[in-house]
Structure 1
């Protein structure tokens, strides 16, 4: 019996196939800790995105891939080295150039702010964290851990869930003035990596650089609240001729005095306010320290009370902007004036 050996062509294909599988296995081992996720902060626009949009100039290769600022997670204990934070480790060194005038800035106000990420490749996520530079940070030195308050002003545990393509974080941004940098960190859940985006922002109620000759209002308080309104009062600023009032970072009104009544609000809802002083020539101060205030009543909506309806104990109604609960059977007894009705908080 004669045994025939495989022909050379067949043997060649076997060797090539085996080599390909070996290379694939090696690739998987080498890159097992890569996130295979990509994304960038779309709003307020990150430094990298403004490079892609042409607002920032001389940015280098990041203009082609603002979604690729990836480095080991665990910042500030780990992650990009000092001086390479903006570039997430140095792959895009132009981003690490730093001065007070190097980068375009996005206007921002203290208080509730929504950070929107656009994820070109979503991935199971561990957390979203946001840091901001300290007061008095050196604007002309490369970003380092010493530049930032190392306690995040906003931290969201995402529990390993895969986020949507357009993910948003709602955060309370601390009161600042002038130019600051926000570091946004998206930590991937099942790899060793995270994505780092810096955002160049300018405070002052959205008016650009605040005028230091007009001091920010102080002593912002809320003397009273109703289910649909909040009254505000503050200490006068030297040189101010009027004041702008911001609710959740949006201008809602102006006042020629040191008080303001904000109306048309939702019951049982929390709002964050800041006030900006405006001089007679239009110069504006930095924003005041933020104040969180809640309207009274419940945010729940119940059917309107009717004098012709029989209500049993536990039934809930709304009347004159307030919510009530029936203590027992009732017919025709007006909420707010009859004992049978209990006012709901």
Structure 2
């Protein structure tokens, strides 16, 4: 190998790691969120409510299973936990279909819906891989008025779940 060629190879090998470290990372191409009625992250993505990074990654609210926060314990998306942010409230009936949009279809153990820390509904997928959109119809029984619903997608083969909060007025 001639001297110029060796120098070019050495420079390339030395610069490549620096380029990888300094290049900006693209948005994550994972996972899922409630698109209808519009969850807080769906409102951010649509520009309905001004938000930070979650606007670009509504599908990325992931955290350990068992949490009760809208952000899934992810500090990057902490604004989702701010109940005073001006979230739009969707009027719904006593039974409502919730549509999840999935960008990575993880095998699923359960889908859960909570109001005020109380589980209202659970759908067991027994480890199946879901389609790109998933719909559950939840019956709220005697619960009425303005409520914050926490929807949780529990992944079957990891310790994580995906979280979405939806602001609704049941019976309103």
Normalising by the residue count of structure 2, what TM-score does the alignment of the two structures yield?
Answer: 0.78
- TM-superposed deviation, 1:64: 0.5
Q: Residues 153 and 174 of structure 1 are in contact (CA less than 8 Å); yes or no, is this contact kept in structure 2?
A: no
- 2:159 is aligned, of 192, 195, 215, to 192
Aligned to 1:161: 128
Q: Residues 109 and 204 of structure 1 are in contact (CA less than 8 Å); yes or no, is this contact kept in structure 2?
A: yes
Q: After superposition, where does 1:64-75 map in structure 2 within 5 Å?
A: 64-73=56-65, 75=66
**What 5-or-longer segments of structure 2 have no aligned partner?**
1-5, 18-28
Q: Distance in 2 between matches of 1:60 and 1:175?
A: 36
Q: Residues 37 and 123 of structure 1 are in contact (CA less than 8 Å); yes or no, is this contact kept in structure 2?
A: no
- Please say if 1:123 is aligned against 2:79: no
- 1:45 is aligned, of 14, 17, 38, to 38
Q: Distance in 2 between matches of 1:129 and 1:47?
A: 17
- TM-superposed deviation, 1:178: 2.5
Task: Please give the secondary structure, in 1, of the residue aligned with 2:149.
Answer: strand
- 1:55 is aligned, of 40, 48, 51, to 48
Q: Residues 90 and 168 of structure 2 are in contact (CA less than 8 Å); yes or no, is this contact kept in structure 1?
A: yes
Q: Distance in 2 between matches of 1:50 and 1:175?
A: 27
Q: Distance in 1 between matches of 2:136 and 2:144?
A: 22
Q: Deviations over 1:258-300 (max 9, x none)?
A: xxxxxxxxxxxxxxxxxxxxxxxxxxxxxxxxxxxxxxxxxxx
Aligned to 2:169: 202
- TM-superposed deviation, 1:37: 4.5
Task: Please give the secondary structure, in 2, of the residue aligned with 1:87.
Answer: coil
Q: Deviations over 1:68-90 (max 9, x none)?
A: 000011x2xxx36xxxx111112
Task: Please give the secondary structure, in 1, of the residue aligned with 2:76.
Answer: coil
Q: Residues 53 and 76 of structure 2 are in contact (CA less than 8 Å); yes or no, is this contact kept in structure 1?
A: no
- TM-superposed deviation, 1:203: 2.2
Aligned to 1:182: 149
Normalising by the residue count of structure 1, what TM-score does the alignment of the two structures yield?
Answer: 0.40
- TM-superposed deviation, 1:170: 2.0
Aligned to 1:114: 97
Aligned to 1:102: 86
- TM-superposed deviation, 1:42: 1.0
Task: Please give the secondary structure, in 1, of the residue aligned with 2:55.
Answer: helix
Superposition CA RMSD, Å: 2.2
- TM-superposed deviation, 1:175: 2.9
Bigger relative contact order, structure 1 or 2, given CA contacts below 8 A and separation 6+? 2
- TM-superposed deviation, 1:176: 2.7
Equivalent pairs, count: 148
Q: Residues 127 and 159 of structure 1 are in contact (CA less than 8 Å); yes or no, is this contact kept in structure 2?
A: yes
Task: Decide whether aligned partners of structure 1 residues 170 and 204 sit closer, same or farther in structure 2, where only a CA change above 3 A counts.
Answer: closer
Q: Distance in 1 between matches of 2:72 and 2:58?
A: 11
Task: Please give the secondary structure, in 1, of the residue aligned with 2:53.
Answer: helix
**What 5-or-longer segments of structure 1 have no aligned partner?**
1-8, 21-35, 134-147, 206-345
